[in-house]
Structure 1
Amino acid sequence: MNLQFLKRIGAGVVTALALFLVVTPSSASAHSILESSSPSASSVLAESPREVKLDFNEQVESHLGNIALFNEKQQSIKIGKLVRSASDVSIVTASLPSLKNGVYVVVWRVLSADGHPVSGAFPFEIGPSSSGTADVLLQKIVNGNATTSDLGNPLAAVRFIAFLAVIILLGVLSVTRKSEMITSSVVQRTARISTLALVVSSLGLMLLQGPYVSGRSWGALLDFSLLPDVITTRLGLWLLIRMMCGALWGTMLILAGSHNKNWWRRSAGVLALVTVLSFSASGHPSAASFSSVFVVVDAVHLLAISLWVGALLALTIVSRSVDIKEFARSFSRTATWAMPLTIVTGVVQGLHLSGGLSNIFDSEYGKLLAAKTIAVLVVVAFGTAARKKLADLESNSIASVIRKESAVVVLVVALTALMVAKAPQVTSDSLSTSFSTTLIQANIFTELQVEPAKVGPSQVHVILTPPGGALAPVLNVQVRLELQSRSIPPIPVTMVAVGPNHWIGVIQFPYAGKWTMEARVEPKKNQTLLFTTEVLVAN
């Protein structure tokens, strides 16, 4: 690797940043966000609604999802099954029985298009007026029904195996495809073990996905009744295709010594593309904005990784049995374009999913992306040393440096597996989980509260008091919150009077960050007071 090559990488990174600024919208979400509901949060209805309707910002999966309804005694009420709309795949509904007057809480859970569970809750009331107890009931129901699965880490480990398997498989075949070494025992053994790992990890992901999404644990791992629901999701379908690809790879390896080598290479190329798509079309890119474009970007990224990183790992494995000098030269030529292509597509993809440079170090996804970038640069540095050894024809030294590269490469793959499990959104665990401030205007003390101040459903309180004496009931209170850093427009919060000058509402925070809160208070006719503050929302 010379100065000219380093300049090429630098130019590639600049190109990636420019491309990102051109094609990426101001915010990119890879997880579903509830945009509206019927009944709306904290609404007071005159009569029983016929159904619960949830409208999201993107396609959601109804399989493995659920809508539950609880009354003011915290008792579960039997309702209809969750159904996705045939005309709009971002809408799900559940029919309701006839409900009596009272307070109710809806607890919902759906599956994002990228296979990650999304959940929330909101209250509504039936009757002539608000009882003022909706926020208390909501808190009790949410606390009592919080279900988290302990299968997150096992899922990440199995994803790591899947990523490692596919890049080693494609890497070893790319290095030896034009050589008789492709039929050697060491190459065949490496490819077969990788193929087996690919199939087993895909099956493992399919078995783990159902219990993980439904908030269950290891005991549900062999609950095969969940499998049909998993297979009907986008992730499940692509996992099934990936396992089929694994079976076909087994056949292709047997035919690797075929006399018709052109046929074998073309077939292997098509199979490699489908295998890579099984990862890209079922992950974060498939649920982000411009999904068609970024599924392709991600597929190119994974292919480039396989030709660079996968081939590197393959060289490490075969270097203990054969002289790798010949293969190292071929790999060096491939890495010349695969390395910058990996970096360019990785930068574009990462920035698109995380929402921009400003959010990189504020999210777990962004921090993992930064760590992965550093690790990749370390691999590039080792690659520079390997190229020098290659120029000096130091075969043993080449193998030594390549093994060091491979150790860092495994870390890169592990970080990639962890990134798949993270939502590309701002997180801030250090922020407070509640917010309260008091503002004064026109001799009126206005207390603004958000509980909890974190991503998900939150209660908004506006409490009005004078410095002394009584305050006549205000006519109206309007609240809006916006997140300018992600260009999220003002979200109106439906406010309901629950007591003397005490108004409450519910908002679903889609992202963490510094939100701007506006409260418009109408103390009397033709008078409006505007209170503005900033609310720090945690993940």
Structure 2
Amino acid sequence: MKLSRIFLTITLTIFLLAAAVGEALAHAVPVTSVPTANTIVETAPEELRIQFNEPVVPELSRIDLLTQAGQRIEVGALAPGNAENSSLILPLPPLDNGTYLVSWQVLSAVDGHTTTGTYSFGIGVASLAGVVGNTQTAAQIDPLSATARWLSLTAIVLLLGLFSFRPVLWLPARPAGDLPENYASVDQKIYNAGLVIAWLAVSLMIVAGMLTLTDQVTTYQLFTGNNLIAWLSTRFGWMWLGRLIVTFILAAILGRIRAFPAGARDPLWWAGLALTLLLAVTASLISHSAALLRDSLNATLTDLVHLLAAGIWGGGLVQLALAAWYTRELAPATRTTINLKLIVQFSLLAGLSVGLLLASGSYLASIHVATWTALFGTTYGRIL
């Protein structure tokens, strides 16, 4: 009972952090703009330029210009301002003196998140009266997108625990010499239970992919014009497609595992672990760490280490529980020997994983919650 309470507490803490993380982490936000946000210029600009902190998708982004009265002004076609697509340019018609409101919405090419915001500028006026006086930026976290992310992370954790536990812990814990009479039966039950978890994880990955696609289709009308091609050309689109392909290959491997005798399954088992590592890589490549302006490579690698450590620890706990349950059918002496080996070896592996979790988590927190204001002024920071 005590162990289950600890596990429940850890799970709830993780989900609380997950719910709050979007408030503190990076999204596509403006770094500079021309004209500068919330300033007054003497002459009317010919174009409006916004530089973002990460690449965006011009075809699926927009910038609107409104008058002080809220009337939308007809402008030119939105275009990328550089090869990285981190800058957008909006051609402007001749503008009269007055105050104007810029309303923008962009899709990040890295993590697939939508960010919106507003700011104002004036032309030949004494003050910016009657419009928004401060820059406002907000990230739109759709429930479908958030659900898809956590379904996929849960699936990766389950798969990492499954494919690492058996070859690294269970098989080395097998009794030496002649095996007990019912050992093969217990081994097969644990194996079958593991496959059920694997199929559950694959199902979660497929559902997550469909939820992501549904969210993006609804938001950006992907089946209109060239929107789908534009979306698939982004890193987020590539990772979505790659993840779906890897998931179906993994499903095919799981379908073949039962067709081979026990001794011939090991190559397929290691192939499953390799594919799960690929799934983890796709998750890190579209994480907030991958979208950082500085040290994005180090942050992305740290994010990957964080995810792998969580998977080996959390997913391994699930497999350890299965092993403890089914080994009850063995003789007491055999059961004690196997469980003792499993607990000792898993404790070493879990200790290493928790150490990596703490180290990588501290590093990522220092990047994403880098100031005292962010630490005490955001939900994510306060939970930390």
Do both proteins adopt the same fold according to a TM-score greater than 0.5, normalized to the shorter chain? yes
**2:282 partner letter:** S
| Count of residues in correspondence between the two structures | 326
- Tell me whether 257-266 or 38-47 shows the greater mean CA deviation: 257-266
| Superposition pairs of residues 151-300 of structure 1, within 5 angstroms | 152-177=142-167, 179=171, 181=188, 184-209=191-216, 211=218, 224-225=223-224, 227-256=228-257, 258=260, 260-261=264-265, 263-288=267-292, 289-300=294-305
Q: Helix, strand or coil for the counterpart of 1:77?
A: coil
Question: Which aligned pairs between 1:411-430 and structure 2 lie closer than 5 A?
Answer: none
Structure 2 residue matching 1:114: 3-state secondary structure: coil
Note the alpha carbon deviations across 1:484-537, whole angstroms, 9 max, x for none.
xxxxxxxxxxxxxxxxxxxxxxxxxxxxxxxxxxxxxxxxxxxxxxxxxxxxxx
Contact 1:161 1:201 in 2 (8 A): yes
Q: Which residue of 2 aligns with 1:84?
A: 80
Return 321-330 or 182-191, whichever deviates more.
Answer: 321-330
Query: Distance in 2 between the 1:182 and 1:299 partners?
Result: 32
What is the alpha-carbon distance in structure 2 between the residues aligned to residue 80 and residue 322 of structure 1?
A: 70
Match of 1:347 in 2: 362
- Range with greater deviation from structure 2 (308-317 or 38-47): 38-47
**Alpha carbons 2:68, 2:99 under 8 Å: kept:** yes
Query: Which position in structure 2 is the counterpart of 1:503?
Result: none
Partner of 2:19: none
> Contact 1:186–1:318 at 8 Å: present in 2 too?
no
Q: Which residue of 1 aligns with 2:319?
A: 314
Letter in structure 2 aligned against 1:137: V
Distance 1:182 1:356, change over 3 A: farther
User: Which runs of 5 or more residues in structure 2 are unaligned?
Assistant: 1-23, 172-186, 330-334
2:60 to 57, 64, 77: 64
Match of 2:125 among 114, 130, 133: 130
The structural deviation recorded for 1:303 is 1.0
Unaligned runs of 5+ in 1: 1-27, 215-219, 371-539
SS at 2:164 equivalent = helix
Query: Which of 93, 97, 116 is residue 119 of structure 1 equivalent to?
Result: 116
Normalized per residue, the structure richer in helix is 2
Compute the displacement of 1:115 (Å).
3.3
Aligned-partner Cα distance in 1 for 2:125–2:254: 69
| Partner SS, residue 49 of structure 2 | strand
Q: Which has the higher contact order (CA 8 A, sep 6+)?
A: 2
Q: Which deviations, in whole Å up to 9, do the C-alpha atoms of 1:136-189 show, x marking residues without a partner?
A: 0346x999xx9986x634433332222111101221222224656498332211
| Larger strand percent | 1
Letter in 1 for 2:130: V
Q: Structure 1 residues 335, 323: CA separation in 2 closer, same or farther (over 3 Å shift)? A: farther
Verify the 8 A CA contact 2:160 2:315 in the aligned structure 1. Answer: yes
Question: How much is the aligned-residue C-alpha RMSD, in angstroms?
Answer: 3.5
Following superposition, the deviation at residue 233 of structure 1 comes to 3.2
Query: With structure 1 as the length reference, what TM-score do the two structures score?
Result: 0.53
SS at match of 1:255: helix
Amino acid at match of 1:171: G
Superposition deviation, residue 308 in structure 1: 0.9
Match of 1:441 in 2: none
1:337 matched to which residue of 2? 352
